[in-house]
């Protein structure tokens, strides 16, 4: 039995193609929702089946905004109980969240194999992004299957001594292609600018960043900034700084609507990792509101620029139309097929080896 674990909105978006492929291949699996992002789960829960296991009760009530340590402890405790009561051949985790690291560690402690999707991303700075850089580095140490989205991620894994590395692409392309076909998205552009800023390492600078957005709007009245605001209070408490008429703050939106906005946008201002990847699927420029990125491919292809905290200084770069690209550096949209095939072969081999060992062969 395979366990697919997720706890955040980005994990669900990047794992639903894998779950769909597991179903298509009729492979036995269960799903787990850790409850890490209860407030954003509603936006994407329809992409995946109702979870077979949930730790959501651990995060309800006053635990809505837990510290990193408390979230990690709650997930680990619940995972230990789960792994004591149920047998799994493998746990699949995605990315670099608290959920991914906690489940990977507890699976390892319970002699369950770990497969890591989107492995090998690195900034080589444990404080940027925080705590994701440490989480994904630690997962590498326990994973028996490492699925790299790009050649650079693959090389990072090789240099770190990781086991069983496969270059498969990123399931974000699978997800975008799935919705492009269903939403009939065609190339579009307007004067809309999609804005998403929420990362933990930016919380201390959020007032400065909101003032930068206000300045961008004031000096560029032809632009319409659309800001689906993350519900974290460290973000929302600064909303009053955005007073320009051409800044529109909206509630978090579902994934299809987010893709529609990306498709329509003239460019994007964001500190999100996933949006950097999605932008390459729509040939959109991104001002990356960070000092470092673990997705250098976006910068190398001319669609990304590190703005750090000085958004207005580089706004002219973003307003210049990008060159056309042939395809995303994150693959052709068949990452889930490759991942499921490799996982299936690994689990089958493990079962056969186990039977042979039991027979004394």
Calpha distance 241→236 (Å, rounded): 10
The residue assigned the tokens 């690209």 is: 325
Out of 198, 203, 230, 238, pick the active-site residue: 198
Residue 198 among the catalytic residues: yes
Q: At what angle do helices 171-183 and 273-282 cross, to 10 degrees?
A: 50
Sign of CA dihedral 345, 28, 132, 13: positive
Q: Which of 184, 194, 200 is nearest to 216 (CA)?
A: 194
Calpha distance 227→322 (Å, rounded): 22
Residues pairing with 247 in the sheet: 225
Cα–Cα distance list, 286 to 6, 81, 121, 279 (Å): 27, 42, 19, 7
With b for 16 or more beta-carbon neighbours within 10 A and e for fewer, the 200-235 pattern comes to ebbbeebeebbbbbbebbeebeebbbbbbbbebeeb
Task: Judge contact between 265 and 194, C-beta under 8 A.
Answer: yes
Nearby residues of 208 by Cβ (< 8 Å), 6 or more positions away: 309
Q: At what angle do helices 255-264 and 171-183 cross, to 10 degrees?
A: 80
Q: Which of 124, 120, 170, 127 is nearest to 143 (CA)?
A: 120
Token readout for 220 is 């560029």
Calpha distance 343→2 (Å, rounded): 9
Residues annotated as part of the active site: 198
């Amino acid at each position: 039995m395979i366990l697919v674990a997720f706890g955040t909105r980005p994990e669900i978006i990047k794992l639903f193609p894998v779950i769909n492929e597991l179903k298509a291949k009729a492979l036995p699996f269960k799903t787990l929702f850790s409850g890490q992002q209860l407030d954003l789960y509603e936006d994407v829960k329809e992409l995946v089946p109702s979870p077979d296991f949930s730790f959501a009760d651990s995060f309800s009530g006053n635990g809505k905004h837990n510290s990193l340590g408390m979230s990690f402890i709650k997930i680990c405790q619940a995972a230990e109980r789960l792994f004591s009561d149920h047998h799994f051949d493998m746990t699949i985790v995605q990315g670099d969240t608290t959920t991914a690291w906690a489940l990977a560690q507890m699976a390892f402690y319970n002699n369950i194999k770990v497969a890591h999707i989107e492995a090998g991303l690195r900034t080589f700075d444990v404080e940027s992004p925080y705590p994701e850089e440490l989480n994904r580095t630690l997962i590498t140490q326990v994973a028996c299957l490492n699925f790299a989205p790009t050649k650079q991620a693959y090389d990072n894994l090789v240099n770190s001594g990781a086991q069983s590395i496969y270059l498969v692409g990123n399931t974000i392309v699978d997800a975008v292609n799935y919705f492009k076909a269903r939403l009939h998205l065609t190339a579009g552009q307007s004067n809309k600018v999609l804005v998403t800023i929420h990362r933990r390492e930016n919380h201390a600078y959020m007032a400065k960043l909101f003032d930068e957005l206000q300045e961008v709007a004031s000096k560029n009245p032809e632009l319409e900034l659309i800001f689906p605001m993350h519900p974290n209070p460290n973000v929302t408490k600064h909303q009053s700084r955005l007073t320009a008429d051409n800044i529109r703050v909206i509630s978090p939106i579902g994934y299809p609507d987010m893709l529609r906005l990306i498709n329509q946008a003239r460019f994007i201002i964001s500190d999100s990792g996933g949006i950097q990847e999605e932008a390459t699927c729509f040939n959109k420029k991104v001002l990356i509101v960070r000092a470092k990125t673990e997705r250098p491919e976006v910068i190398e292809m001319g669609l990304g620029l590190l703005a750090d905290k000085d958004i207005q200084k580089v706004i002219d770069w973003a307003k210049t139309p990008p060159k056309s690209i042939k395809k995303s550096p994150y693959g052709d949209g068949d990452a889930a097929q490759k991942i499921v095939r490799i996982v299936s072969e690994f689990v089958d081999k493990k079962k056969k080896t186990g039977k042979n060992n039991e027979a004394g062969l």
